[in-house]
Amino acid sequence: MRLIFSDSYFKNTDLSDEEGHKLYTISTPQGRKQVTTISKYRKGKSTPQVMAVIEWHRLKKTLIRFRGREVEADTMLYKRPWSWGRYFAGPDGHTYKWKVGFRYCWLKVEAKHTRVPLVKYHKRNLGIRKPSHPPYLDVSSAVTHMMDHIVVTYIYMERLRQDTEDERRNM
């Protein structure tokens, strides 16, 4: 399945399926206090419901409110010593790992030693060498049952990836 972004800016975009049905809206108003709201569209409803909120902080811990809980982002998506990426427990009991590359993030099952991603981001392609397409997340059918978790954790991981990219540019 593909989750297609309406805009390349991940903190202000809509996510739709391949048939054009809007599934999620991600919005982050400009201002001193950075708060990202992730809303989900239910089947047959035209108004989305707030699914998660991420309060971004630089001097203190970023908070994620999701599924009736408020947790520090570093607790929900934790690091392990000597490992790149972040881990989280899926609703199915498996541990998943977001790997962070220079240009995109991808998700894999932690226990399996495979490089085949379960979720991978694809940037917008203007169609010069390959067919044109908007940015999208390619989501394996093995993890579509936890799409809400994927969207929330992806938004956080992409922010970390972009912060690291910004730091590299400013060196």
Distance separating alpha carbons of residues 107 and 90, to the nearest angstrom:
12
Per the structure block, which two tokens stand in for 117?
Answer: 């991603």
SS3 state at 99: strand
pLDDT tens string 132-169? 788 999 999 999 999 999 999 999 999 888 877 666 66
- Position 168 scores a pLDDT of 63
pLDDT tens string 24-39? 999 999 887 899 999 9
Q: Do 16 and 3 meet the contact criterion of CB atoms below 8 Å apart?
A: yes
Distance separating alpha carbons of residues 170 and 53, to the nearest angstrom:
29
Residue 91 burial class via C-beta count within 10 angstroms: exposed 0-12, middle 13-18, buried 19 and up: exposed
pLDDT tens string 103-122? 777 788 876 666 678 999 88
